[in-house]
Amino acid sequence: MERPYIICHMLTSLDGKIIGDYLKTERVTYFTDEYEEIHERYGSKAWICGRITMEEHFTFGHQVDLKKEDNIPAIPRTDYVANNDAESYAVAVDPLGKLGWTENSIKPWNENRSEDHIIEVLTEQVSDAYLAHLKKTGISYIFGGKERINFTTVVQKLKKLFSIDNLMLEGGGGLNGSFLNERLIDELSLILVPIADGASNSVTLFESSSSLNKQHPENFYLKEVEKLDDGGLWIKYLTKP
In the predicted structure, residue 213 carries a pLDDT above the cut 80? no
- In which region does residue 157 sit, left (phi positive, over 0), alpha (psi from -120 to 50) or beta (all else)? alpha
pLDDT score for 112: 60
pLDDT score for 197: 86
Neighbouring CB atoms inside 10 A of 9's CB total 21
Residue 166: what are its φ and ψ, rounded to 5°? -130, 135
Helix, strand or coil, per DSSP, at residue 235: strand
Residue 177: asked if its preceding bond is cis (omega within 30°), the reply is no
Q: Which of 147, 207, 141, 153 is nearest to 8 (CA)?
A: 207
| CATH architecture of structural domain 1-45+164-240 | 3-Layer(aba) Sandwich (3.40)
Helix, strand or coil, per DSSP, at residue 51: helix
pTM, two decimal places? 0.93
* Domain range annotation of the chain: 1-45+164-240, 49-162
pLDDT digits (tens, 9 = 90+) for 124-135: 999 999 999 999
Alpha helices in the chain (DSSP H): 28-42, 51-54, 128-137, 151-162, 173-181
pLDDT score for 210: 62
In the predicted structure, residue 108 carries a pLDDT above the cut 60? no
Average pLDDT, the chain: 92
Cβ-based neighbours of 188, under 8 Å, separated by 6 or more = 7, 8, 10, 220, 235, 236, 237, 238, 239
pLDDT digits (tens, 9 = 90+) for 13-48: 999 999 999 999 999 999 999 999 999 999 999 999
pLDDT score for 201: 81
The H-or-E segment that residue 29 falls in is helix 28-42
pLDDT digits (tens, 9 = 90+) for 171-186: 889 999 999 999 999 9
The H-or-E segment that residue 9 falls in is strand 5-12
